[in-house]
Amino acid sequence: MTSTTEQHLSARVVGSEVHALEAQHIVQTYRRAPVVFVRGEGVRLYDSEGKEYLDLLSGIGVAAVGHGNPRLADALAEQARTLAHTSNLYFHPLQGQVAARLAALSGLPRAFFCNSGTEAVEACLKFARRYWYTAGTPRHEIVALEQGFAGRTLGSLSVTWDPHYRAPFEPLVPGVTFVPAGDEQALRAAVTKQTAAIIAEPIQGEGGVRPLSSAFAAVITDVCTQTGALLIADEVQCGLGRTGQPFYFQVLGLRPDLVSVGKALGGGMPVGAALLSERVASAVSYGDHGTTYGGNLLACRAALVVLDALTGTASTTSPATLPNGGLLAHIQHLAPLVEARLREIATRHPMVVDVRGAGLIWGVELDRDAAPIVEAALARGLLINRTAERVVRLLPSYIITEGEIDLALARLDAALAEGQH
């Protein structure tokens, strides 16, 4: 073992040294919580002092099969020893398998693999333009939703609503119009025969966990039919089982031409994908888009473990680490319990003004800034996060148990009680 490896594996991590190194060498784009995590197991995380936390955020909706999952770890170790990366210049055995599983879950037959959510959105935006270019009637305009979030690269930032994220980087990609989610008139006015695509998160995540209504979804479908505009469903946060269904666009009855996925897909390995209908895919040619890493063997191996666990088709090698019968069924079972417990907690805290969500994505909206609650929760060994200022967001791992939910929500209850003063 080299000394560097020994250093990395050393159990003794000193928080103050980590802070000092970052303060000197890391671009300060994040205001991190003052905690250094060194180990995880299931829904539990351990910091450099050995303190245990219950994680209701799972790395912002990423650790779908939990931290330190043995099945995922074994698969990745085996794949790393066998072959990790070859680039997209050659075939490998796994990319088609992941794409076939995603097709079965989504109904969209083709996939383009990338490394993150924002790249998945970029791919969707490019493929939407390519569709209209190939059709001989180029369109570039995009209609997006207020409160929407699609990522931080220039293209996806252009369809992200928050002015704080946008202003320092303007001018962005032209031709984007924002309409309020749920506003039928505004949508009908904004979408025309110049509109290449509408982009929408079926549940707005960063925007405060706001599910679109089925009624508004029906208007989206109608407007797309009237104008020919394509629909991009950004399922990076709410997709891949998060709600107990494979995708939330299915719950809303939407029929997207393009779907972006990321976050949970790799269970912690960086992998994203754009899923395409056949009519959009057939407009795409060799060389139109590409990536060095996207969909390499390591990423695809991770995605296969997650997708197998979702549908319960996993081999039975380590039954203790994943619930039997598939995580989709497990989440469907848990959802009403989580909702009932959150609503019960809400009745005891007047500062809670709304509880929204589905499956294992929940927002608890407060009448005030949620930051002190998040801080109080951290002190009590609970990880949650604040989004859209006043919303406490929960995105637990799909493998969380009823007992762990009770324990974690009791800590949330206590944090809310503390914040009341």
Report the residue number, 66 or 117, with the smaller CB distance to ligand PLP.
Answer: 117
Report the residue number, 114 or 416, with the smaller CB distance to ligand PLP.
Answer: 114
The 8-class DSSP code of residue 169 comes to G
Residue 197: beta bridge partners? 142, 230
In this structure, what token pair is assigned to residue 128? 């939407």
| CB-based closest residue to ligand PLP | 117
Report the residue number, 120 or 352, with the smaller CB distance to ligand PLP.
Answer: 120
Cis peptide before 171 (omega within 30 of 0): yes
Report the residue number, 151 or 323, with the smaller CB distance to ligand PLP.
Answer: 151
Least CB distance to ligand PLP at residue 3 (A): 33
Between CA 249 and CA 234 the distance in angstroms is 9
In this structure, what token pair is assigned to residue 90? 């050659």
Least CB distance to ligand PLP at residue 115 (A): 8
Radius of gyration, CA atoms only, the chain: 22
- Compute how many other C-beta atoms are within 10 angstroms of the C-beta atom of residue 53: 22
Least CB distance to ligand PLP at residue 99 (A): 19
- Which ranges in 136-253 belong to alpha helices (H)? 154-158, 163-166, 184-190, 214-227, 248-252
Least CB distance to ligand PLP at residue 214 (A): 19
Least CB distance to ligand PLP at residue 307 (A): 18
Residue 321: CB partners within 8 Å, gap ≥ 6? 65, 66, 69, 70, 71, 399
Least CB distance to ligand PLP at residue 152 (A): 7
Least CB distance to ligand PLP at residue 53 (A): 22
Least CB distance to ligand PLP at residue 117 (A): 2
In this structure, what token pair is assigned to residue 194? 């110049």
Q: In 3D, which of 145, 367, 326, 362 has the Cα closest to residue 238?
A: 362
- List interacting residues with ligand PLP (CB under 6 A): 116-118, 121, 149-151, 201, 205-206, 234, 236-237, 262-263
Between CA 211 and CA 229 the distance in angstroms is 22
Helix (H/G/I), strand (E/B), else coil: 75: helix
Report the residue number, 335 or 395, with the smaller CB distance to ligand PLP.
Answer: 395
Report the residue number, 40 or 155, with the smaller CB distance to ligand PLP.
Answer: 155
Helix (H/G/I), strand (E/B), else coil: 421: coil
Least CB distance to ligand PLP at residue 236 (A): 4
Contact 272, 260 (CB under 8 A): yes
Give the amino acid at 276: L
Report the residue number, 117 or 256, with the smaller CB distance to ligand PLP.
Answer: 117
Report the residue number, 116 or 195, with the smaller CB distance to ligand PLP.
Answer: 116
Q: How far is CA 294 from CA 65, 89, 113, 117, 367, in A?
A: 21, 11, 5, 12, 42
